[in-house]
A and B are shown apart, each in its own frame.
Chain A
Amino acid sequence: MPTPKVIHQPQTQHSLRRGIEALAKAIAPTLGPSARRSVAQNQAKLEMLDDGGLIARRIIALADREEDPGAMLLRQALWRTREHVGDGAATTAVLYECAHREGLRFIAAGANPMRLRERLLELLPRLRDGLLAGARPLRSQEELRALAFSVCYDEAMAAALAEALYTVGRFGMVDIRAGHGRGMERDFVAGAYWTGGVQSKEMLRGWARTVAEMSDAAILVSDAEIEEPAELVPLMQLALRCGLQDLLLIVKSISDKGLSVVLDKRLSDRIRVVVVNLELFQPDALARAQADIALLAGGRPVLQTAGDSLESVRESDFGQARWVWADDKNFGFASGKGDPRQLRDTVRRLRDAYDASDDDDARARMLERLGKLNGGLATVYVGGVAEDEIRQRKEIAERTVRALRNAIADGAIAGGGVALLGCRDWLLKEAAEAEELESRAARRILAAAAEAPIRQLLVNAGQDPSEVLARLAHCEAADGFDVMQGALVDVAAAGIFDVARVQAEALQRAISSAALALTIDVLVLHREPETMTEP
């Protein structure tokens, strides 16, 4: 077992550098539409990976424990980028590696690492503004398709996802599921649905496709855990008194004895009751689901936690929807009779809160709610030959959906590294005029970083970066290199886009993390480094 070890300069930066290079070189080849792939050995299997974020996730430690800290610093930056914006890991890796490499050069030439970091962080907002200067909203389905392709590099997937997002919008729900065929299929579902199947196959009897469907049905949602038949009797009596013909009863759980009441022929001849449960929901999710159902369908949730009971249900507690369905796994409804004003106000509040929040988990929860309150959702079925392929394609599809949401929200910039390359000239001009070594160094580091993504794209596509960059220097600012066609083009006109938010996040995360890494003087290596699947 290795003993603890303390490493000092200059060995510290050499160790970090080796680790950063090792990870960056595994990920950089995945940048761009003609990217290469990496292979990861996962126990007995070999996994083909073309997503930088996934590669970073698979590499949980390097064998050389002196290299490991550098790789883990980069890995953390990559993972944070991916978690925050869903994509951009490869760009982050390329920018990070370049900024770190160039930074070490200037430190070796006498630059103060702390001051250099300060100068880099001072310049970062201006560079970010320069990057986003040309951002524009994507309006058409075709533009969304082009952007989706730049993320997933799969024509069929790009077309299906662009249509889905174009239809349901930025806050709409796109459910990515494993398909049965090899291709992509998509479907649009009216209304909203939740996980929770019917509690007895008897309730599906008589319907085609084993889906219970009801028109103009009443809906009652409760957190009741029904054990005894007697608990349901007053509710059923009330339903009969109210003249209800169809009732969807949503409870937390129900026993077989409880079910016997609603399945009793004397009752089922007069009222059709479908019972679904929300047993699998965690308490927070359960409360959200109950609130959303009541918001959409009207009525009032009957909550035992608030002192209600099924005996105290009144007619006004029933919600209603024009179309209600339930199968063995899910239930849903469309055209609920909730108050549209209340629904609109809730959705507006949620949208504002979503945009104001930095908490990824909270945003995910709000997005899920907004998707359900949106009036409809899209389901995209991802096919493939083998289970592994379908799983990988699903992950890529989810990443693409997130990129499309970001693009609809914040727009897109010219792709292929052109937007960042456009900042290189003013950085070099200012570097020539700067007097302080660190100011000059910071500008030169960022100028090199501005060139790094397009260089890597060209390398990955088998092109000579120096030659193409020399040709680009004599072109219009909007021109870039289409690596698929192997030609200089107006990138926006050619539909080559990058998601503005992803690129900005990659830039911010890479430069600030690399600048921090440059200031590390000492490494303390423990006997057994901690390994984490989630950085």
Chain B
Amino acid sequence: MAAAESMERAHGLACAGGNIYAARQSGLWQACANGEERNLYASSPNDINTPTFAIGLADAGETLLAGILGGVAHSTDGGQTWALRQFRRPAPLVTALALSPAFAVDGVALAGTLEDGLFRSADGGLSWSASSHGLFDHGVYALALSPAFAQDGVAFAGTGSGIYRSENGGRLWRDLPMPAGDETALCLELSPDFAEDATVYAGCERHGLLRSRDAGQTWERLLETEGAVNGIALLDGCLALQLDDAVLRWKDGDGWRELIEKGADCLTHDEAGALRVAMADGRIERIMPD
């Protein structure tokens, strides 16, 4: 199915194994190298044609988790077959998914929900249990795991009223001191060298872009904005962010530059270092920031 036929807005975007995956109202879509998209749910015998809000990928796209209403859809064969892993009632809406970088070994995945806090799986996504110890706000919008998660167990969760950090693999959460006290953190991004530089970026609904260089203990405001920072992508030598429905990039010595004026739904970066932006008309743009 071609991208133009879907024409749906995307809630999430992720890249793995040379493919791009988009979480859309009609399900999880995969964009292939030729630019065509196919609905992965529709290819499943179960035909779970369900609105999808978050994506988690491992094993170059062989393992797929899709955040849906009620739990996650789970595939271990690149989306050929799916199983629905339901969380406890009442059915939570899964808004964020994060898989351990060592998922193939430790099988740890975290799921953030709109009203029901966090859920954790330690068996590759087969079973999930509530993991909201220490979390005061159960509206979770963003999750980010340390690149060395398997060793340091560090994870961050952005909620409606602040950012939380876990140091034990997502079991126990501790609220972090924020500059304005109660920022709604819509997106989080960790430096690829987090183990060395302890740098975390947070995009907020009202307070712009924040950066911490000490793993969340203190935060500085990098950019004050009137709109919401809905997405962050760290690219080689530059930082891209989605401000409302525009996309900007920041580079040392060059400052901020607008890449897309309007119409962006969400963004990520692919394995080649290009920026991928899902547009409101269903297209997925590829932009080399330079």
Residues of A whose CB lies within 8 Å of any CB of B are 139, 141, 166-169, 172, 188, 190, 213, 215-216, 322-323, 334-335, 340-341, 343-344, 347, 373-376
Closest B residue, CB atoms, query A324: B90
Do A322 and B175 form a contact, CB below 8 Å, given A340-B161, A376-B132?
no
Which 6 pairs between the two chains have the least Cβ-Cβ distance? A215-B90, A340-B137, A190-B130, A340-B136, A375-B132, A169-B172
Q: Is the CB of B90 within 8 A of A374?
A: no
CA distance A160 to B2 in the complex (A): 53
Contacts of B88 in A (CB 8 A): 190, 323
Listed A/B pairs (28) with beta-carbon separation below 8 Å? A139-B167, A166-B171, A166-B172, A167-B133, A167-B172, A172-B133, A188-B129, A190-B132, A213-B89, A216-B90, A322-B116, A322-B138, A323-B88, A323-B89, A323-B90, A335-B132, A340-B136, A340-B137, A340-B161, A341-B181, A344-B136, A344-B162, A374-B134, A375-B135, A375-B136, A375-B138, A376-B132, A376-B133
Interchain CA distance A340-B173 in the complex, whole Å: 14
Determine the main DSSP class of B at the interface with A.
loop
Most buried by A among B90, B137, B174: B90
- Listed in ascending order, the chain B residues whose CB lies under 8 Å from chain A are 88-90, 92, 115-117, 129-138, 159-162, 167-168, 171-175, 181-182
B181 contacts which chain A residues (CB < 8 A)? 341
Task: Please determine whether B168 and A141 come into contact, CB atoms closer than 8 angstroms.
Answer: yes
Q: Which of A215, A343, A375 contacts B133 (CB 8 A)?
A: A375
Instruction: Please judge, given known A-B contacts A340-B137, A341-B161, whether A188 and B168 are in contact too, CB under 8 Å.
Output: no
Chain A residues positioned under 8 Å from B116 (CB to CB): 322-323, 334-335
CA distance A260 to B159 in the complex (A): 43
- B133 A169 Cβ-Cβ under 8 A: yes
Chain A minimum-CB-distance residue to B167: A139
Q: How many A-B residue pairs have CB under 8 A?
A: 78
CA gap between A141 and B153 in the complex, in Å: 11
* Distance A343 CA – B139 CA, assembled complex (angstroms): 14
CA A139 to CA B167, docked complex, whole Å = 9
A303-B160 Cα distance, complex, nearest whole Å:
31
Complex Cα distance, B167 from A167, in Å, reads 10
Cα A373 to Cα B175 in complex, Å, equals 13
On whether the beta carbons of B175 and A344 are closer than 8 Å, the reply is yes
Q: In the complex, are the beta carbons of A341 and B182 less than 8 A apart? A: yes
Instruction: Tell me whether A215 and B89 are in contact in the complex, defined as CB-CB below 8 angstroms, given that A141-B168, A188-B130, A190-B132 are known contacts.
Output: yes
- Whether the Cβ atoms of B171 and A375 lie closer than 8 Å is no
Please name 7 further chain A to chain B contacts, defined as beta carbons within 8 Å, in addition to the given A166-B168, A216-B90, A375-B136, sorted by A numbering.
Answer: A168-B133, A168-B172, A169-B172, A190-B117, A215-B90, A322-B90, A344-B175
When distances are taken between beta carbons in the complex, the residues of chain B under 8 Å from A374 are 133-134
Whether B138 lies near A335 (C-beta < 8 A) is yes
- A326, B192: Cα distance in complex, Å: 47
Q: Smallest CB–CB gap between A386 and chain B, Å?
A: 33
Residue of B nearest to A163 (CB): B171
On whether the beta carbons of B160 and A375 are closer than 8 Å, the reply is no
**Min CB–CB distance B183 → chain A (angstroms):** 11
Expressed in whole angstroms, the Cα–Cα distance for A335 and B92 within the complex equals 11
- CB of A344 within 8 A of CB of B89, answer no
A374 CB to closest chain B CB (Å) equals 6
Q: Which residue of chain A has its CB nearest to the CB of B139?
A: A340
Q: Closest Cβ of chain A: how far from B19's Cβ, in Å?
A: 35
Q: CA–CA, A114 to B7, complex, Å?
A: 90
Q: Tell me the minimal C-beta distance from A325 to chain B in angstroms.
A: 11
- Residues A375 and B168 in contact in the complex (CB < 8 Å), given A213-B89, A323-B89: no
Chain B residues within 8 Å of A373, by CB: 136
B93 → A minimal CB distance (Å): 11
B170 to chain A, nearest CB (A): 10
Residues of A within 8 A of B161 (CB): 340-341, 344
Contacts of B132 in A (CB 8 A): 190, 334-335, 375-376
Given A139-B167, A190-B130, A344-B162, verify A322-B115 contact (CB < 8 Å).
yes
